[in-house]
Structure 1
């Protein structure tokens, strides 16, 4: 199984069926927190739903269209980070992520994003990485801002969430900016 150690406390593991129970428990325990910004939370009702996500992630990986990794903090499942579909012709990708509420504020996601960005530019040889965040999700927005992304604009009604449409802030960074 793919495993990438970031530091003494954080590692990334390619999502696997063995993680479905831990992933579901994490989602379930942070449901109120996560549902505010993630439309799939309410339809994730059992570990079978996380298994379906893992199966689709494995298919995505098999066709070289990106992957999702579980984030482990001090040996415990903490969240997920992944590439949305890679646009190979334009050499760009978008990163999505979520973190169990009890792990927020420890720098975990910033470190995980940094690794995914490095991999996108230095291994996949992409040119652009994008992160989109709900405009009022200040904790999520802080990550691309901390990593030197440029705020490129706002997409009005950019995502339909459980409580209605929200505007999305689009952040981007180019390979030449990341590797300077």
Structure 2
């Protein structure tokens, strides 16, 4: 089992189907909050939906296409983060994440994203890490900005969120830039 210790409070663990109950509980508790920026809430209405998602993440990892982890904060699952996809040809990983509402404001996602970026460069030997966030999602955009990612551009109408499109801001950092941090 993959377990990556970040610090005394935080670790990342590869997803397992047994994580479904807790992840679904987090989703239910923050549904309205998460729905502002995540497009999958209407498709996650029962724990079985979360189990299917987890099976998909496990398959992606087994096929070396992605790596999704649960975030453990003081031993408790509080969200997910990982590489939504890994492009081995271009040596690029794309970080995605979400966190239970009650765990925000503790620096968790910044520390997790820093650890994932380190892992991408130092263990996977990738050249670039990207984070994309909705243009109006200031909290999510703050993470790559705090970590020194470069704002590379805007993708217009990149994502459909229930009843409207949102633009995405693309942030990237190269291995040679990360080494300077």
Provide the TM-score with structure 2 as the length reference.
0.97
Structure 1 stretches of 4+ with a deviation exceeding 4 A read none
Helix, strand or coil at the partner of 1:167: strand
Provide the C-alpha distance between the structure 2 equivalents of 1:7 and 1:89, rounded to a whole number of angstroms.
32
* 1:20-65 deviations in Å (ceiling 9; x for gaps): 0000000110000101111001110111111111101111111111
Structure 1 residue ranges without an equivalent (≥5): none
Helix, strand or coil at the partner of 1:32: helix
Pairs within 5 Å for 1:108-147: 108-147=108-147
Provide the C-alpha distance between the structure 2 equivalents of 1:93 and 1:61, rounded to a whole number of angstroms.
13
Partner of 1:94: 94
Provide the C-alpha distance between the structure 1 equivalents of 2:163 and 2:74, rounded to a whole number of angstroms.
34
Q: Does 1:170 align with 2:179?
A: no
Provide the C-alpha distance between the structure 1 equivalents of 2:177 and 2:28, rounded to a whole number of angstroms.
38
Helix, strand or coil at the partner of 2:72: strand
Contact 1:36 1:162 in 2 (8 A): no
Provide the C-alpha distance between the structure 2 equivalents of 1:25 and 1:72, rounded to a whole number of angstroms.
15
Helix, strand or coil at the partner of 1:55: helix
Partner of 2:71: 71
* 1:84-123 deviations in Å (ceiling 9; x for gaps): 2211111111110000000111000011111110111111
- What is the CA RMSD across the aligned residues, in angstroms? 0.9
Provide the TM-score with structure 1 as the length reference.
0.97
Pairs within 5 Å for 1:31-110: 31-110=31-110
Give the paired residue count.
Answer: 180
Structure 2 residue ranges without an equivalent (≥5): none
Contact 1:131 1:144 in 2 (8 A): yes
Helix, strand or coil at the partner of 2:43: coil
Please report how far the alpha carbon of residue 75 of structure 1 lies from its aligned counterpart in structure 2 after TM superposition.
Answer: 2.1
Partner of 1:30: 30
Provide the C-alpha distance between the structure 2 equivalents of 1:4 and 1:74, rounded to a whole number of angstroms.
13
Helix, strand or coil at the partner of 2:45: coil
